[in-house]
Amino acid sequence: MNINVAEQLTAAEMPSAGSEDARRRSFSGLNRTGRLSSTSTPAVEVPAGFQKITIGAGVTTIDLTAMPAARDPGDALDYSTKKLIGVRIHANPGNSGMVTIAPGASNPYPLFGVGNEQDFYPGEKSDKMLLGVASSHPAVSGTAKNIAVSGTENDIVELMLLFGT
């Protein structure tokens, strides 16, 4: 299994100053590309998981020991003993409110760190990928396996998760 990664970020600022040259600040060297495989660091050892969630009246729990596979949603993946190496989250632009992703109430998996949650506004996307460094996330286990998703009823969020070592 191989995953190709290409991130591009370009930024320019125009702070207040006396001349245009003095106002122009550019940032470069922020782009990165890479390829993850079974022999890379981190190593990709299992297929990607993908779940498209239509939020209901309560909290939806994603169980990382039974995550739908991106290649076939009917195929459940068990990420036990694997560590998070990549995540992509996309809140549908037609949503009427924010979507919150947090560690689950029981057996929480700290996707954004212990006790941390993240809100996604309509249309917001977030990508996180490790390249060249081993994952410091905890391994999925019976006591660290659940992610909670909540928000406005009928709003939609898509999650793609990558695990390995």
Tens digits of per-residue pLDDT, 5-43?
666 665 555 566 666 666 566 666 667 777 888 888 999
Domain positions in the chain are 43-164
* 59: confidence class by pLDDT, cuts 50, 70, 90: very high
CATH of range 43-164; options 2.60.120, 3.40.30, 1.10.10, 3.10.170: 2.60.120
Which pLDDT value is given to residue 15?
A: 60
Query: What is the distance between the alpha carbons of residues 53 and 68, in angstroms, rounded to a whole number?
Result: 11
pLDDT digits (tens, 9 = 90+) for 82-108: 999 989 999 999 999 999 999 999 999
pLDDT digits (tens, 9 = 90+) for 144-153: 999 999 999 9
Asked whether residue 131 carries a pLDDT value surpassing 90, the answer given is no
Q: Hey, how many other C-beta atoms are within 10 angstroms of the C-beta on 99?
A: 25
Cis check for the bond before 47: say yes or no (omega within 30 of 0). Answer: no
* Among 113, 115, 131, 121, CA closest to 157: 121
Which pLDDT value is given to residue 115?
A: 84
Residue appearing with tokens 């190496």? 85
Per DSSP, what are the bridge partners of residue 102? 148
